[in-house]
Amino acid sequence: MAVEICVKAAVGAPNVLGDCPFCQRALLTLEEKSIPYKIHLINVSDKPQWFLEANPEGKVPVIKLEDKWIPDSDVIVGLIEEKYPNPPLSTPPGVASVGSKIFSSFVKFLKSKDPSDGSEQALLDELKALDEHLKAHGPYVNGGNISAVDLSLAPKLYHLDVALGHFKGWKVPESLSHVNNYMKLLFSRESFEKTKAAKEYVIAGWEPKVNA
């Protein structure tokens, strides 16, 4: 029986894959492990009744494994790893938190209206730390093979790249060459191409938050 997964539909386009980085992380994990799955696109502003019955919190992603709907991308990725151990994607604890503050730093900088509030520098500091880690251990966070930490970072770096480029005309500095190469490496993977939201939907997803 194929795994079923509910993910966000695009803003204003309910039949198109949406821009949730946590949904993409779960899809990337399924793709990298070549697990067949059936996708349900959920319009988050008009959630279907069956979805709310299966998942009362109403959050995406949720995955159906052995007739049970399970929310939370961290939990989902862990369960997929347990049930489908090959190829192994688990990340050693020592490097599992590499880059973990990049997403929150990006969101803060994206929403910031005050250029002197330090949010840009905070993001640069996080990206520099990632660059140094990749310089020593790359091309992926855990060396030569992709692992769960990369699949978590890839969608977040894609959002950072698209949203900051669009709303702030900002991009990752060229001096952070390891991060730039890492992004190219991740974004060119077949699994990423298949599961990413189109740029216009990433922009549409962030628009209300930027203008709030």
Active site positions, annotated: 20
Question: Could you give the count of Cα atoms lying within 13 Å of 121 in the half-sphere of its Cβ?
Answer: 5
Look at residue 114 and give its three-state secondary structure.
coil
